[in-house]
Structure 1
Amino acid sequence: MDRSLFLARLVGPTFVAVALGMLINLGMYESMIVEGLRAGILLYLSGLLSLLAGLAIVNLHNRWKMEWRVIITVLGWLMTVGGVIRIVLPQVAIAVGSMIYSGAASTIVVALIAGTLGAFLSFKGYTRHA
Structure 2
Amino acid sequence: MQTSLFLAQVFGLAYTIIGLGIIFNNKHYTKMIEELRTSAHYSYLGGVAAFVVGFAIITYHNIWISGWEVIITILGWAALIKGILLLALPQYIIDLSIKITKTKNLLTAFGGLALIIGLVLVYFGFFA
* TM score, norm. by length of structure 1: 0.89
Alpha-carbon contact 2:33-2:94 (below 8 Å) kept: no
| Structure 2, gaps ≥5 residues long | none
Give the match for residue 73 of structure 2.
73
Residues 1-130 of structure 1: pairs in structure 2 closer than 5 A = 2-38=2-38, 40-103=40-103, 105-128=105-128
Which range moved further: 91-100 or 38-47? 91-100
Give distance in 2, aligned partners of 1:33 and 1:56.
Answer: 25
- Offset of 1:112 from its aligned partner? 0.4
Alpha-carbon contact 2:86-2:93 (below 8 Å) kept: yes
Give distance in 2, aligned partners of 1:39 and 1:88.
Answer: 16
* Aligned positions, number: 128
Tell me the amino acid that sits aligned with residue 75 of structure 2: L
- Offset of 1:37 from its aligned partner? 4.7
Give distance in 2, aligned partners of 1:79 and 1:63.
Answer: 15
- Offset of 1:36 from its aligned partner? 2.5
SS at match of 1:113: helix
Q: Deviations over 1:40-74 (max 9, x none)?
A: 11111111110111111111100011211111001
Structure number having the greater helix percentage: 2
Give distance in 2, aligned partners of 1:37 and 1:2.
Answer: 40
**Which 4+ residue blocks in structure 1 deviate beyond 3 angstroms?**
none
Give distance in 1, aligned partners of 2:81 and 2:44.
Answer: 14
Give distance in 2, aligned partners of 1:67 and 1:77.
Answer: 17
Tell me the amino acid that sits aligned with residue 55 of structure 2: L
Q: Residues 27 and 101 from structure 1, CA distance in 2 versus in 1: closer, same or farther, beyond 3 angstroms?
A: closer
| Structure 1, gaps ≥5 residues long | none
- Offset of 1:95 from its aligned partner? 3.5
- RMSD between superposed Cα atoms in Å: 1.6
* TM score, norm. by length of structure 2: 0.90
